Structure 1
Amino acid sequence: MSKPLQQRVEHILDTVPGEKLDVIVQMEADRAITARLARAAGRAVRHRRLALTPRDLLPQPYGKPAVKPRKMEETASDRARLDQARAATFALKRIQESGWHSTDALMNNPMVQGALDRMLTPTRKSSLPKGEGPNRFWTSRAMPLRLTRWELARLPDKVAGIEDIHLNRRLSVPALLQTRRPEVEEKEVFHSTWGLERCNALAAWGLFGNRGRGVTIGLLDTGVDAEHPDLKGKIAHWAEFDYAGNQADKSQPHDSHTHGTHCAGTLVGGDGSGRCIGLAPEAKIAAALVLNGEQGGTDAQVLAGIDWAVDQGVDVISLSLGGLMMDPETPSTYTQAILSCVEAGIPVVVAIGNEGEQTTGSPGNDLFALSVGATDPQDRVAAFSGGRTQIIYESDYIDPADLPLIYSKPELTAPGVAVYSSVPGGSYQSFSGTSMATPHVAAAIALLLSTTSIRDKKAGLERVSTIQDLIIGSVTDLGESGPDHRYGFGRLDVLRAIGFAKKLGY
């Protein structure tokens, strides 16, 4: 057992009471792939940290050679782009297969098999298709286990290839801060929400004639009311997961709370209330219930939802959830899963959290997540919006020469105060939170993809980097020069993002 792994196991045993502990055991991943992605991300982080304005982050024009020219970019032919997309698809399949195989050592261990038998109730066992075993997460190379303290202490010595062991944390549904409609919507903005107006979504619709058509957004939340007038016909895929990440059989779309339907409205809602509420009303949603009402959810549920969303072929994932972190050191629970999404060309947009300055939420504080804070109608950052400097001291993904790696969160902000959107039962309410800001950014990415040719011209890491550089590089710069803990680089502007993309050849 490595010393860092031993220390993490001892920390869990010392700080968590109870005889049986719910953990997530993560296995080693393909070093070559993760190292390549991490190096690229590390370069991006250093570039962002030294940037004085958002415009410094904009990508190179399409077809212009980078510092190290690639043959694929030099030809810039349709055949070359198709070959690149095929290569990315094959690479993703290899990652998926590797993710499944990496947990075989766990599955074959007698001690683990005993723990799995305890987790699989007779009902669950009988519902498993022939040949299917307990749940495993391919994007994160991980498996949830309920172990005795004795088993946890000995597991790393019994099973080769364990990368890390995390608590399967309990995640609460983010608090919905109900507020009255802002004055600007009573006196100036009559036919949309102030958030759509402030992000220039309406102007983008009119100028480019597209509202998200052909894009699927993965929404991992409390579920969704698929019969809401603003959402009806827009839920393309549905799934529900339990605390261990097992998918529920015969589940039908529903919202176990209010949170998910409100976020869905900001993503793809229509104008049933007399106001347009969604930035990308022609996009579709792949909705996964990973937070079960007032009970909340677990990391395992979210990791299972990420697997499922990637399998559905989503173009972007929206996560208005997370667990509070007071420490600047970032947990790696979600790092591998988000890296797998990056390899698939899928940006992961995450709320930074609602506990105020010098706090963040996980996975919003992960190096590879695109994290979002909240602003009000006066472009002031909300007092509850999180943000801080994060640090990675040791990592299996980052080059040791780059450690410790210091970076700032969030990357940007979006409207998150008094956001008017759909709630279950065909109604509408105004809520505040970074949860409300996050779908503005995810939907802006949907608009960007539906209005440009980024998906045809870029794949995998290059696609995600291009999307993030355009979204961050086009913001309205607020706060300090360059990135800061309150605004990130600034407030979202989707019209400007699409404009820059068009100008740069996308």
Structure 2
Amino acid sequence: MSERTPVERQVERILDERPEREVEVIVQMDSGRGNLEKLELAATEGLHRRRFSQSPRELLPLPYQQRPSKQDKQETASTSVLFAKAATETRALARIQRLGLKTIHPLLQNGIVREALARMAEPARKGAPATDKVSQFWTSRSVPLRLKRDELRELWREVETIRAIHVNRRLSLPPLQETRQHPKEIEDLLVSTWGIEKIRALSVWGAHGIRGKSVTIGLLDTGVDPSHPDLKDKISHWAEFDSLGNLLPDSKPHDSSEHGTHCAGTLVGGKESGRYIGVAPEARLAAALVLDGEEGGTDAQVLAGIDWAVETKVDVINLSLGGWVLDPETPPTYTEAILSCVASGIPVVAAIGNEGQQTTGSPGNDQFALSVGATDPQDRAAAFSGGRTMVLLECDYIDPKYLPLLYSKPDLSAPGVAIYSSVPRGGWKAMSGTSMASPHVAGAIALLLSATSIRKKESGAHRAFLISDLITGSVEDLGESGQDHRYGFGRLDVLRAVDFARERGY
């Protein structure tokens, strides 16, 4: 009896766990790897070496245009240096998109898929919109489908280039806690929120005279209230997607909850409350609604939002969302999409999750996401903040010598307890969660890009890896030496990141 393929095992697991007559899945195609394979190999080697790093400074990049020596290549944990060693070309965004859509084409020609798409023109449930469109996610080389059980059993046999099949998971609104009583150090800080002061964003504003101007941050969340006084005229692009990733053409900017507006305030908010709330108040937002309030969202909505954000040419993406993952094995749903972002020069910042120690959420636990845990005003790890060792047991693009690949999450931590920020209808609240920590990091990246010439001097994956290395390599080292499950490599320090970048010629 022949050994079962990974796709066959995935299908069997889906059928065992899902009793429905029709199952919503995301079918991912083999991309043929090419340039992405070299990118993945370099990043994987970096992950492997990080396990033995004793200090975040080992992640810092070399000075601009300095060729790495043989010793540098052998000893560094900097992904940007390792990727330079791979000596791969940087592909233009249009070419990456074209290649992604090309891999999907054979799937759309299949008879099972055509029948499924015809049925999907009808609403899946009461109140859901009908659609005659086919969602195609080029960053992840995937298509969302609603398949009957027998169709799911047969599809992978009929289309040889199917790489993986995942359930289109329902993603709940991240659990948040409003904080009503604040420590004295928070109450006494009147100029800004404690998080902005702690990561030294105020010092970047003063020392370098920049606040994020000309940078666009992609925010995939519950939406945003554009009429809030702290966010007025800061939404440059808007989109909303349904549960199968279809764009809703008549949608206007709004927030289906409070979550997105709160994250937006931490990213780009002003001082209308009497204190500064945003890390990069002169940056702009490209906001997409991928979580519909209490109804939540789906993986397909998020993947559609990632496609849209890259096409909108954002500089960084913030994902304060995810689904809790019980197993230590990394779910591959978002890996290809995040790699496509990286290949386009866009780092993806994601919250690690709010279920506490030895838990993580996806996509925050993906090996290529810049994942963020939460700290409090005393630089203690928040009790709710997730983190653990993840494992890749099998992977067709990773050198077998690295398998099984073990890596730790989060990558770093940032303020995420009692974070004061905007909420819809002109209000403000203090909330806690790794959802609040992630925007501090994405906002810090906006400051880093605004304060340096990184966007002019680097492109593609070199740029994305360089940004991640600078942000992670410059943290305030907390907890155990090296990377741990509570702090990652340490707590964000954006002033040090900017200073290291400038000192190295970026």
Contact 1:325 / 1:361 at 8 angstroms: preserved in 2? yes
Structure 1 residue 64 corresponds to structure 2 residue 66: yes
| Aligned counterparts of 2:347 and 2:186: Cα–Cα separation in 1 | 35
Matches of 1:400 and 1:29 in 2, distance apart? Answer: 19
The superposition leaves residues 18-42 of structure 1 with CA deviations (integer Å, 9 ceiling, x where unpaired) of 1110000000113222211111101
Provide structure 2 residue ranges, at least 5 long, that are not aligned to the other structure.
72-88
Report whether the alignment pairs 1:328 with 2:328: yes
Residue-by-residue CA offset, 1:416-471 (whole Å, 9 max, x unaligned)? 00000000001000000000000000000000001001111111111111111110
Asked if the contact 2:186–2:194 (Cα under 8 Å) also holds between the matched residues in 1, the reply is: no
**In structure 2, the residue corresponding to 1:104 is in which secondary structure?**
helix
Letter of the structure 1 residue corresponding to residue 484 of structure 2: D
- Alpha carbons of structure 1 residues 396 and 93: separation in structure 2 relative to 1, 3 Å: farther
Inter-CA distance 365–127: structure 2 relative to 1 (3 Å threshold): closer
Aligned pairs for 1:40-439 (under 5 A) are 40-67=42-69, 88=90, 90=92, 92-121=93-122, 133-180=133-180, 182-184=182-184, 187-439=187-439
Cα distance per residue 1:273-328 (max 9 Å; x no partner) = 00100000000000000000100000000000000000000000000000101211
In structure 1, the partner of 2:505 is 505
**CA 1:186–1:54: 2 relative to 1, 3 Å:** closer
Residue 186 of structure 1 and its aligned partner are, at CA, apart by 5.0
Could you tell me how far apart the structure 2 residues matched to 1:181 and 1:430 are? 9
Tell me which amino acid in the other structure corresponds to 1:115: A
Aligned to 1:80: none
2:120 touches 2:131 (CA, 8 Å); kept in 1? no
| CA–CA distance in structure 2, aligned partners of residues 184 and 177 of structure 1 | 19
Alignment partner of 1:9 is 2:7: no
Range with bigger deviation, 236-245 or 118-127: 118-127
Deviations 1:162-192 (A, max 9, x none): 0000000000010121112522455431110
The aligned residue for residue 81 of structure 2 is none
Question: What is the CA-CA distance between 1:120 and the residue it aligns to?
Answer: 1.9
Kindly indicate whether the alpha-carbon contact (under 8 Å) linking 2:48 and 2:402 is maintained by their aligned counterparts in 1: no
Which residue is equivalent to 2:450?
Answer: 450
CA distance in 2: counterparts of 1:168 and 1:139, whole angstroms: 16
Q: Cα offset for 1:402? A: 1.5
The match for 1:38 is 40
1:124–1:117 Cα change, 3 Å: farther
TM-score, normalised to structure 1's length? 0.93
Task: Name the amino acid aligned to 2:449.
Answer: L
Distance in 1, matches of 2:460 and 2:50, equals 20
Instruction: Give 1:396 shift.
Output: 2.5
C-alpha distance in 2, partners of 1:249/1:456? 34
- CA-to-partner distance for each residue in 1:231-254, whole Å, 9 max, x for gaps? 010000000000000000110000
Could you tell me how far apart the structure 1 residues matched to 2:182 and 2:457 are? 41
1:88 partner SS? coil
The answer to whether the 8 Å contact 2:121/2:130 transfers is no
Could you give the per-residue CA deviations for residues 329-350 of structure 1, whole angstroms, max 9, x where no partner exists? 0010000000000100000000
Q: 8 Å contact 1:387–1:486 — kept in the other structure?
A: yes
**Secondary structure of the residue that 1:103 maps to in structure 2?**
helix
- Are the counterparts in 2 of residues 230 and 271 from structure 1 also a CA contact under 8 Å? yes
Contact kept in structure 2, 1:184 and 1:377, CA below 8 Å: no
* Amino acid across the alignment from 2:110: N
What is the CA RMSD across the aligned residues, in angstroms? 1.7
Distance 1:336 1:394 in 2: 15
- String of CA shifts for 1:393-425, please: whole Å, max 9, x gaps: 111232222211110000000000000000000
Shift of 1:89: 5.2
SS in 1 for 2:491: coil
| Inter-partner Cα distance in structure 2 for 1:362 and 1:125 | 27
Q: Aligned equivalents of 2:468 and 2:195: distance in 1?
A: 20
The answer to whether the Cα contact below 8 Å between 1:120 and 1:134 also exists between their aligned partners in 2 is no
